A and B are shown apart, each in its own frame.
Chain A
Amino acid sequence: MSVVEQSDRPGFIARMRDTDIWYSFVRNRIVMLAAFITIVIFLGALFAPLVAPHNPFDLASLSLMDSLVPPVWMEESDPRYLLGTDDQGRDILSAIIYGARISLAVGFASVAFAAVLGISLGLLAGYLGGRTDAIIMRIADVQLTFPSILIALLIDGSVRGIFGGQFSREDSAFYVLVLSIGLSFWVQYARTVRSSTLVEKNKEYVQAARLIGLHPIKIMLRHVLPNVTGPVLVIATINLALAIITEATLSFLGVGIPSTQPSLGTLIRIGNDFLFSGEWWITIFPGIALAVLALAINLLGDWLRDVLNPRLR
């Protein structure tokens, strides 16, 4: 074995460019486009107050005179409102940008919640085994047979039943959504982490760690996490798209984000009432925005899965 000269080691960027991930990324134009769109939407949502032409929540600036204005390329439009306005005179484009911000916030928060919960439970189930394992995985099995939208609806209904009068809908909607969506997504993480934990559990370093007085769980976390980074990343990416869709669906069904601070799903629900009277832009543009966002993230997730699991290519 020859020793690699330190000076010959390529820099980070050069090493990145030599990996399969980078190769497949550059070769795949659609994925590059999806990444670009995702980044643009993320940035737009993050800097919504700077990017959006109007502030749709600033009630003072709204005027009913400006309500139901069509997009600029149609007759009777107003150049100030590129994609038209809704019934309260809110600029659709700005509402979409602010709506995406809320949709993404719910999406990220619920994915993070599901991941933390799933990883912890998976680690616990794998490490402790026995009864704990059996209980956790049985719950997972049962839950897996139900579509997440049903579970989210049930949790949503129950939570509102329990805390019904205590909080206003405006304040609690976000947390209720994150809780419902997060709780309906944890199973996949738990399964992945559990199986990896089972593999690591019997390795010598775990025994060794115990000997030197370190808590095994702590040390396993350090070894298990790197092993599951890939799968967890794939699950999280695909879940992000799913979470955004679920949020939109719940909001559309009227049990999600209320219309005072609308998410994309809420916007679509509001617009749906105007579909038959011809004001299609109120629902169609947020719909397109939602579809493009979900599609772009799904494309990235699909691509990540293919790259990290080339067997299924």
Chain B
Amino acid sequence: MLAFTIRRLIQSIGVMLVVSLIAFVMFRFVGDPVDQMVGLETTIEEREVLREQLGLNDATPVQFLRFVGNAIQGDFGVSYQFKRPVATILGERMPATLELAFVSAILALVAGIPMGVYTALRRDSVLSKLFLMISLIGVSLPTFLIGILFIFLFAVVFQILPSFGRGEIVDLGWWRTGLLTTSGLKALILPSITLALFQMTLIMRLVRSEMLEVLRTDYIKFCRARGLRSRSVNFGHALKNTLVPVITIAGLQIGSLIAFAIITETVFQWPGMGLLFLQAVQNVDIPIMAAYLLLIAFLFVMINMAVDMLYVVVDPRIRIGGGEE
């Protein structure tokens, strides 16, 4: 158990180091940082001074170590576009993205799991076929198109929901939330559904295929052969086994929600990290891109670890090692 945890921890650190390296290479070698920071009229001597100050003349490994060290302390440098520290900008934008992703994740799970279970149990019912059709459309329709359609329907035609922004924000000091006002909640509806749809269809299909697999196993047949009630067989024995692998993928999907938020935030002009990142890509603002990459990687690693811990709780085969007598 302990060995398992330590191994996972080392793996996570390895992943973070690889991503840091990529972020560093981007930061250091994509374009010249000095060019981005000064105007055209700056003399070569002044540039050289700045270069020395920034440590850009040091050996590359030293620069990398300094980059990692700074990143650990939350220092990602200064944005080329905004001329402000990247960490501060990201900090301002983070609550908006996290609230959006959190609400979407809940939506995706709450709708996706029951739909997956239903379509697995009633494979030939009309409703199942409808769900599967919807899921295929959900996978085929690009997120931004769904967003545009929602805006067209609910903001342009019916004019019942706002099409952009977060509505009224309450400042809690360390967190600016839109969850406490009516306009904030209303503003959240369209973006969160847009963001949730794709994940929902993925989770539904995943639950369905896992459930079908589990329903074919011997132990489920044996449950039926013992005359257990079908409710207990389907929702006790089968669903519990289905959810074990689903946890992993669902965890990763929640991570990718944050990345997919780039698109949703752009469509709805949602002032989160995704919109910030996109503006950074358009303007080749490398410090923000690198910091965002690191942040996403960190979130993924954390979610992965959380999922592994959850696994241990759910599956006795991992919790209690194989005790063949």
- Which residues of A line the B interface, CB within 8 A? 138-139, 141-142, 145-147, 149-150, 153-154, 156-158, 160-162, 164, 241, 245, 248-249, 252-255, 265, 268, 272, 275-276, 278, 280, 283-284, 287, 290-291, 294-295, 298-299, 302, 312
Contacts and interface: CB of A to CB of B under 8 A. Distances in A.
B199 to A, nearest CB: 11
Nearest to B277: A153
Contacts of B18: 138-139, 142
A312 B213 CA distance: 8
A192 to B, nearest CB: 18
Nearest to B303: A145
Contacts of A302: 136
A149 B137 CA distance: 19
21 contacts: A142-B19, A145-B297, A149-B262, A150-B296, A153-B262, A153-B277, A153-B278, A153-B281, A154-B26, A158-B26, A158-B289, A161-B30, A161-B286, A249-B142, A253-B266, A255-B281, A255-B282, A287-B148, A291-B145, A295-B136, A298-B140
B305 interface: no
A312 to B, nearest CB: 6
Interface of B: 14-15, 18-19, 26, 29-31, 136-137, 139-145, 148-149, 151-152, 156, 163, 209, 212-213, 252, 255-256, 259-260, 262-263, 266, 277-278, 280-282, 284, 286, 289, 293, 296-297, 300, 304
Interface SS of A by simple majority: helix
Contact of B262 (A150, A241, A295): A150
A154 B289 contact: yes
Contact of A248 (B26, B142, B256, B277): B142
Contacts of B280: 157
Given A275-B151, A298-B136, 10 more contacts: A142-B18, A147-B259, A153-B277, A157-B30, A162-B30, A164-B284, A253-B266, A255-B282, A291-B141, A291-B145
Contact of B140 (A265, A268, A291): A291
A164 B31 CA distance: 8
A245 B137 CA distance: 13
A290 B260 contact: no
B156 A276 contact: yes
B153 to A, nearest CB: 10
Given A138-B18, A161-B30, A254-B282, A150 B140 contact: no
A294 B300 contact: no
A41 to B, nearest CB: 13
A147 B260 contact: yes
Contacts of B19: 142
B152 A275 contact: yes
A275 B29 CA distance: 41
A138 B297 CA distance: 15
A138 B19 CA distance: 12
B148 A283 contact: yes
A146 B259 contact: yes
A280 B30 CA distance: 40
A312 B208 CA distance: 10
